[in-house]
Amino acid sequence: MPTPSSTTATDVRRRRRNIHFVALSTSALLTFAVAGNSLSLGKSSSPTAARPGRRGVVRHATPNLQSDVLGDHPHHPSDARGGASSRPFFDRDLSVPAVLLAGFLNLLGFTMTSPIQPALGRHFSLPIGASFGSLSSAYPLGMMLGILLWPSLSDVLGRKIVLSFTLAGSGLGLMLQSWGIRRCWTLEQFLAARVLTGCFAGNGPISKAYLADRGSEGYRRDLSKYLAWKDASSTLAFIVGPTLGGLVYQIFGGSGVVDESNRISIVILFSAIASVFAAVSVSIFVNNKGSGDKLAKTAALSADKEHAEGHAMDEEKVVSCPLGSTLWTGVASVACVSALYHAADSTFFAFFPSLLQNRLNFDTQAVGMAFTSFAVVSFTMSAFVSSRFMKAFGPVAACTAGLGAVGTGLWTLGYAASLPAGMNVGITTALILGASALYYVGVPLYGPSVPSMLLQCVPSQKRGAVMGFDGAVNTVARIVSPLIIGEIHRVKGAGACFKVAGSCAYAAVSVALFRRWLVLRKMFGKSSNAYLE
């Protein structure tokens, strides 16, 4: 293993211990997440154990959701013997934990590289501005194709095969990027590799659609539980990834320009391996129950049922689509809110590492540790607060509360970045770190609310397409915002950059509240007319 010439043997051993610590922490956090998810999903987890349901219908047991439908409660002792707990481990359905694990591993490709963003800029000799922002815009540019294609295709072919293919493609694309850095490709060639990697995006919407398929087999109120745990498993990547990326960057290579390129290449290679392992986990453990193949078989029955129950469905639209009284107005409103959030979020991740380095003098490893510390806050919110908050107050309240915290955090970052360079370092540090923590409190509150609002009002055979549409709108925001706000950063400075991002989050709050007000006004107007008649 190559090390810098100035590094002592003691430093090398210390860094190796850090790697071991991170690996053990990752394993512990993953175990905690999967165990908590299993507890929240209930006793039964096998889709293959057939049992008689109500009215003589043979049903298949599914996690918690199906248990509720079948009456698996203390006063229903039917599962006292021969339940899921008595089956061998490998006979159980591991689909949901495997999807959570795949989400964690895939996001490592993003989070491990976040601390090396400034190093990438130095590698290509890019000043902070629109050209620097192109490093963040290239991947979403490729996502435009992937987001539009793969989720819709998963409605037809099934979630498993498409999810495995996209994860494997992302891994290969990251390997190509790593090779390009090592071979000193030009900026244009490297950006082309990033665009190609983005073409295999779409696994996030597919995994959410899969969880919605599983959740729709039981009670809708459990959908938020699945989505909250999806966010929690993804947040694990934000805990482990930045620290691991910073450590790998510090350990491998020397201090010269060539050695720095090798460091960047190795970090990207580690993230590629994580994506490949994610594809393998999906291929082995995830089944297609509740996904495209099942949807194809039940399409005719769904059409008949929809015709017979059309009036009842119309009555439920106001409840199901909180931001629209019809399907597509609700989807369009949620997509608008989501796009504004992603404009703010992409700005944060594009320019926050540079802010830490320029104002607080953090090195690459310290930037990674900072991201990990904030991600612990986010994971705590995802695991213990988000689902409960959304069940208690509804998805619109969770959405607006989260966006309000995000906007306030970004505006505070803008204020801190605008302070004079000679300002007390302690005050500046407290403002930046406190604002960042508030940002990471808001993100997990907002995160599950958007897919929950979308998936509640979308028929099962259209979930992939609608999630793909939402992802495509978000991708446009992620392509455009780093370029535009990067230019604002170059002309007006970091303070204006983060304030504009915060304004995007506040605009999303305004859209959500306005659309909810319109829906409630229409709903109560209909109720009043019905009462008068």
Structure tokens at 500: 């504009």
User: Quick check: 60 and 49 in contact, CB under 8 A?
Assistant: yes
DSSP 8-state symbol, 126: P
Structure tokens at 186: 């030009």
**Domain spanning 9-45+94-296+314-525: which CATH class is it, in words?**
mainly alpha
468 sits in which H/E element: helix 463-492
58-60 vs 50-52, strand pairing mode: antiparallel
Q: Nearest-CA neighbor of 244 among 24, 529, 502?
A: 24
59 sits in which H/E element: strand 58-60
Q: What is the pTM of this model?
A: 0.62
Give, for all 533 residues of the chain, the pLDDT tens digit.
Answer: 444 444 455 554 555 544 444 444 444 444 444 444 443 334 333 333 333 343 333 333 333 333 332 233 333 333 433 444 444 444 567 888 899 899 889 887 778 887 788 888 888 888 876 677 778 778 888 888 888 889 888 888 888 999 999 999 999 999 999 999 988 899 899 999 999 998 998 788 888 888 878 766 554 555 667 777 787 787 778 788 888 888 888 887 555 555 778 888 998 999 899 999 999 999 999 887 544 444 444 443 444 444 444 444 443 433 457 888 777 788 889 999 999 999 999 999 888 988 998 889 888 778 888 888 888 888 888 878 888 898 899 899 999 999 999 999 999 999 999 998 777 888 999 999 999 999 999 998 998 888 888 776 777 777 777 877 887 888 888 888 888 888 899 899 999 999 999 999 999 999 999 999 998 888 876 554 444 44
52 sits in which H/E element: strand 50-52
Cβ of 297: how many Cβ atoms within 10 Å? Answer: 9
Under 8 Å CB-to-CB from 68, ≥6 apart: which residues?
A: 42, 218, 219, 222
Taking the C-alpha atoms of residue 246 and residue 286, their distance in angstroms, rounded to an integer, is: 32
- Give the bridge partners for 198, in sequence order: none
CA 509 to chain centre: 20
Nearest 5°: phi and psi at 426? -65, -40
The domain spans of the chain are 9-45+94-296+314-525
Tokens 């006292």 sit at which residue?
80
Structure tokens at 45: 């987890």
